[in-house]
Amino acid sequence: GQQLNQSPQSMFIQEGEDVSMNCTSSSIFNTWLWYKQDPGEGPVLLIALYKAGELTSNGRLTAQFGITRKDSFLNISASIPSDVGIYFCAGQITSGTYKYIFGTGTRLKVLA
Amino acid sequence: DGGITQSPKYLFRKEGQNVTLSCEQNLNHDAMYWYRQDPGQGLRLIYYSQIVNDFQKGDIAEGYSVSREKKESFPLTVTSAQKNPTAFYLCASSMRSGVAFNEQFFGPGTRLTVL
């Protein structure tokens, strides 16, 4: 099955630093979603993007829907220890099924 | 509270046994989905249903079966034909919006271990 290219795969950062991650695809998408997953739990929706070029914030999180509709970016500002987890992107395909394709995840570890 | 529930949280089964994982939602969402997650990997779609009494195979449907007799329920059966069933299983749901579907919301997951 198709999966998105998400990078970086993992990152260690110091508390207070800003974080950037992105997802790219060879396909165009209608919608981009960003989720956070804690160990042993289901993913929680952070941000949803619906239009090319859209920039949306949720607290310290900011995400953008790439202008080509083939990529998306997530930034976390001033990271804190509870930001630890796995971040997934998901893109909604434009065909009749409107399924979501998920990235392979970015594992974030924050050092206090 | 509105949400998606999955039960049980942890499930242990002997090899060769069928097992059914429960997923219930009270969000009045039209579509429901089952994903499998293996360590260090993303989510892979097993089955999905966009309307009651109808469902479609995802990317890794072999060895699994589902039913959608009620809008709020979408149980997944892991059959003995599934060669490597030990994994974390996630259920999700979404609301229809015109011909498309809105963002997906996930349940807490069920970790299945086959001994």
Distance in Å from the first CA to the final CA of chain B? 35
Among B9, B38, B43, B47, most A C-beta atoms within 10 A, so best to mutate, is B43
Q: Is the pLDDT of residue B44 over 70?
A: yes
Out of B43, B48, B99, whose CB is closest to A102?
B43
CB A65 within 8 Å of CB A51: yes
From residue A27, alpha-carbon distances to A98, B88, B103 in Å are: 13, 28, 19
pLDDT digits (tens, 9 = 90+) for A21-62: 999 999 899 899 999 999 899 999 999 999 999 999 999 999
Q: Is the pLDDT of residue A77 over 90?
A: yes
| pLDDT for the residue numbered A98 | 79
| pLDDT for the residue numbered A44 | 96
| pLDDT for the residue numbered B2 | 67
pLDDT digits (tens, 9 = 90+) for B11-29: 999 988 999 999 999 999 9
Q: Is the pLDDT of residue A87 over 70?
A: yes
| pLDDT for the residue numbered B71 | 97
Instruction: Chain A: give the shortest CA distance to residue B60, in Å.
Output: 8
Among B6, B104, B105, B112, most A C-beta atoms within 10 A, so best to mutate, is B104
**Is the Cβ pair A92, B56 closer than 8 Å?**
no
Q: By percentage, how much of chain A surpasses pLDDT 90?
A: 80
Residue ranges with strand state E in chain A:
5-7, 10-14, 19-24, 31-37, 44-49, 55-58, 61-65, 71-76, 85-92, 100-102, 106-111
Instruction: Chain A: give the shortest CA distance to residue B16, in Å.
Output: 25
CB A35 within 8 Å of CB A90: yes
* Average pLDDT of the residues in A56-77: 96
pLDDT digits (tens, 9 = 90+) for B62-109: 999 999 999 999 999 999 888 899 999 999 999 988 777 889 999 999
| pLDDT for the residue numbered B99 | 75
Phi, psi of B61 (to 5 degrees): -75, -20
Instruction: Chain B: give the shortest CA distance to residue A71, in Å.
Output: 17
| pLDDT for the residue numbered B69 | 97
Residue B105: both structure tokens together: 């919301």
Q: DSSP state, A51?
A: S
